[in-house]
Chain A
């Protein structure tokens, strides 16, 4: 309807409105008229029928009582035609009696042509018509005497009703059309003269307009008040438009200039514009945005996912986070985001994005617009600059010849080390190294050769120290080394020795074979100074002391330390010689069953029989042997000797039981351990089940997984394994369960104060219970008193080793002991 009205002339529009209005009114009126007429006719029909039936009843009673069938049938016929009824049916009881039925039924009914015909009660079609009659009214026929003679029923069809209603509808239709036509013509004429003519004149004036649609002349003011008002308003509008047009042209020019300026700025900035509609998630990319990444214009999809996919994986999370952070600020923050984006060719470009978002009234970002600036060149420049800075900084802090730290950097590193040592309550050592007679090399072979020597020395120093140790060249032939987290003071002297050893080989420069010696001064923090200056000064002093001592040596700043260092060096030298001279002997300490007093085995223990020093106990040389690695060689020496001896005892039939051998950590780490053991067994003819290797709990726990592997191999050979010093190494029970051990040895420290010390009692009980629960043998070390034995036996530990039974004894004594077999029946006693 709206479209219809909008697209047609006003005549048609008004015509449609009028016809529609009249039609609606007519329909309503017709409907009302139809319904009221229908109601009226129905009432009239009913009244007519009732009147008719009353009238008929009165007359027909006489006929019925006088058996004047034809007469009342005539009456019925007349009534039917007079009242235009559909049917009248009479039930005659008198005639019924004559005919042997309840009632003789007769009457008149209209056929399809509305002609009266005789009613036949046996005619199905007629009966159906009666059933479908619009209305019927039945009344009994009673004689004046009160006898019921029959009944009369009048049927009314809607024939008349329909005819009358049809007439009403047709009449209403005709009147509607007539009224509509009259109204349309009247309205058209009046509209034409009063409304359209002035409007047409206005339209005529408006049609003559300039190229921008503004009329050349003002519109005429004629016609009805509304049109006159409209004309005046239009004229004011035209005037206003004319005035504002000039303003608009001015502003448009300014806007064009502004736009051009903006475009130039964008083009000049060479930035890529992006415009992200957060509602639709569509992103507009300016041509420059795409060409910046090597794409053709329009090649990139207009989605935010496109941006995400092009981000460098390392920058993606940070870039997305920056966007989210900015949007979370609801526009109060500043959006600047730097990231890498991949170009079409696969290269990466550094991009800085800047922008601003628009938010709706709920604070939700709806639009986000900004620029992408390609800062790849800038980044490269910055990296180059940084590299230059780093180079300069390196040069400032390093020695140009050796690339070692210079004095400045070393001093800084030293101070940092001092601070850390102070915090950790640890020690550090400063080694001050000076090449002996370097000046002569420079003087005789030239500075270039000297420089090469310095480089070679630098290289060997680097190869000698740990990675975390700092090396510096303070100048000339002076080097410093900083050793942090110093375990022992003597570790510094060991490094000094290593360095001297490393430099003991000749340095070849230009076919010159040069032997370089160095003098080293050592200062220890905090013993020899608590500042870098003091430590350097004292190390330098110690170095001069070494020089004064004949060069090619090292000196601690403290004389005592120096003495200890030299003692250690001497010990190491002696150990090497002892190995060479086979000065190590094996002692055996027997192991007894405390209940049966029978020997169950013995532990092989090393002793150093030094010709000049006498018998030296392990505590005096084992630490040095371990630190130098000589322990492996000593261990194997002892093992070979002990295994050979033990085999011999077995061959002699002395029943020595099981031989326990200590397995050091260094030994455990040797890959050829198993081969060594197999070779020893083979060489000696020893059966593996005679042997038991003891490994300390602490050693196992240093690298339990690796230890389990090696111990499993030993176990596979058939050699038993025992865990030594149990209770001191914080064993993990889960590892303990996995270790292929068969025996636990309770450490002597828990035995010593038994049975008086409550804690030791509890610990020893717990260890025994643990061993039993893991189905392990248990042996107590260091038992010295009968009370200890009684307590332990009482709590389930029956195998003992200690001075209560015997101290470690040499081969001869042990062999004599075995030969006597005195322990079999003898009371336990010290041997």
Chain B
């Protein structure tokens, strides 16, 4: 059980367990509530599991909150298993969950390849799987909920190219520190962003793919590109968590206010950095919304409804100009901050 499980979740699980015991007793004593509803989910089996690569990452935590919120509202027990980015643990959780014969699995795999393995195991067990982000290399699943990375990247690209144009830096280059391009979302982001650059006639510099996703890596990549391309006028990070490395590299190379920084995804602090102009903008996925949508899709599937095989949710392209307007949406869907 992940340490992030809340007390509420503990109580919910305890309640579910008691409910199960209670229902079992009812079945034994009165033999009522016979198994007459193959078309509908039985209360005793109404449990969803969320397999996630690493709940320590805010994005996944926000998505988990969306899942838990929607699942609870739909009457499901829900448990989360965080592999902490460990493939072995991810598989162990998958095997264990499959043995528990849960109603459905929502998975955000460590990578699309591992997801295919999970799908391969779940298929013979007959447990439906909804993929929430990352995607899969193959296999059978109920639905794949993802962000429209291409369009999000395109829009943030357009924001950046407008800024460059406003500054008269159209001749400058834009460097990209990308997530691994082996990932489908990485390739989509690069394509959308490059489309915007292309349309604006702005040249690209290197695309450096992250491996360790560390601060140092981001700092080094940024410094290397700054030094390599004197005409570098902007850096686009395809992730949000190591934005500080890029800012420090720009600052340390004396390029503050000479090189613009933009990101994909967001951190809570961005709500301050964007209005200050430290960050030009960010393409913000909506993990909370994705979590909710994943549960909704699963629920519909379990209730025999036809669901879309792939569903892409919009990515919010936020800049200084629209952040105020989009703030409630950002707070809920991007940052998972529910207003009570």
Contact = CB atoms under 8 A, between A and B. Distances in A.
A98 B95 contact: yes
Interface stretch (A62-70, A236-244, A526-534, A809-817): A62-70
A70 B113 contact: yes
B120 interface: yes
Given A74-B113, A74-B137, A68 B87 contact: yes
A522 to B, nearest CB: 158
Nearest to B88: A67
Interface string A66-107: 111111011000000000000000000011001100000000
Contact of B113 (A68, A94, A95, A98): A68
B113 A71 contact: yes
A66 B95 CA distance: 16
Interface in A10-68: 66-68
Contacts of B88: 66-67, 94, 98
A75 to B, nearest CB: 11
B109 to A, nearest CB: 10
A622 B314 CA distance: 186
A68 B86 CA distance: 11
B310 interface: no
Contact of A66 (B87, B115, B116, B137): B87
B110 to A, nearest CB: 10
B92 interface: yes
B279 interface: no
Contacts of A94: 88
B117 interface: yes
B interface secondary structure, majority: helix
A70 B87 contact: no
A66 B89 CA distance: 10
A768 to B, nearest CB: 136
A70 B116 contact: yes
Given A94-B88, A98-B88, A70 B95 contact: no
B91 interface: yes
Interface size class of B (residues with CB under 8 A): 10 to 19
Interface in A91-147: 94-95, 98-99
Interface in B90-114: 90-92, 95, 113-114
Interface bracket on A = 10 to 19
Contacts of A98: 88, 91-92, 95
Contacts of B138: 70
Contacts of B116: 70
A74 B88 CA distance: 18
Dominant SS among interface residues on chain A: helix
A402 to B, nearest CB: 151
A269 B304 CA distance: 130
A81 to B, nearest CB: 15
A572 to B, nearest CB: 158
A69 B114 CA distance: 7
A414 to B, nearest CB: 149
B138 to A, nearest CB: 8
Nearest to B137: A70
Interface in B111-148: 113-117, 120, 137-138
Interface in B52-111: 87-88, 90-92, 95
B111 to A, nearest CB: 9
A67 B113 contact: no
B95 A67 contact: no
A563 B88 CA distance: 175
Nearest to A66: B87
A71 B113 CA distance: 6
A342 B126 CA distance: 116
A175 to B, nearest CB: 47
B91 A95 contact: yes
Contacts of A68: 87, 113-114, 117
Contact of A67 (B87, B120, B137): B87
Contacts of A67: 87-88, 90-91, 114
Interface core residue of A66, A70, A71, A99 (most chain B CB under 10 Å):
A70
A69 B137 contact: no
B117 A70 contact: yes
A95 B94 CA distance: 12
A108 to B, nearest CB: 13
Contact of A99 (B95, B120, B137): B95
A68 B114 CA distance: 6
Contacts of B90: 67
A68 B120 CA distance: 13
Nearest to B113: A70
A66 B138 CA distance: 19
Nearest to A118: B120
A66 B91 CA distance: 11
B51 to A, nearest CB: 14
A69 B95 contact: no
B116 to A, nearest CB: 4
A69 B113 CA distance: 8
A94 B48 CA distance: 27
B91 A70 contact: no
A69 B119 CA distance: 12
A98 B120 CA distance: 15
Contacts of A99: 95
A94 B92 CA distance: 10
Interface string A264-290: 000000000000000000000000000
A70 B116 CA distance: 6
Interface string B37-53: 00000000000000000
A106 to B, nearest CB: 8
A457 to B, nearest CB: 156
A68 B137 CA distance: 12
B91 to A, nearest CB: 5
Given A68-B117, A71-B113, 13 more contacts: A67-B91, A67-B114, A69-B91, A69-B117, A70-B114, A70-B115, A70-B116, A70-B120, A74-B113, A94-B88, A95-B91, A98-B95, A99-B95
19 contacts: A66-B87, A67-B88, A67-B90, A67-B91, A68-B87, A68-B113, A68-B114, A68-B117, A69-B114, A70-B113, A70-B116, A70-B137, A71-B113, A73-B117, A74-B113, A74-B137, A98-B88, A98-B91, A99-B95
Interface of B: 87-88, 90-92, 95, 113-117, 120, 137-138
Q: Which 7 pairs from chain A and chain B are nearest by CB?
A: A69-B117, A67-B87, A70-B116, A70-B117, A70-B113, A67-B88, A98-B92
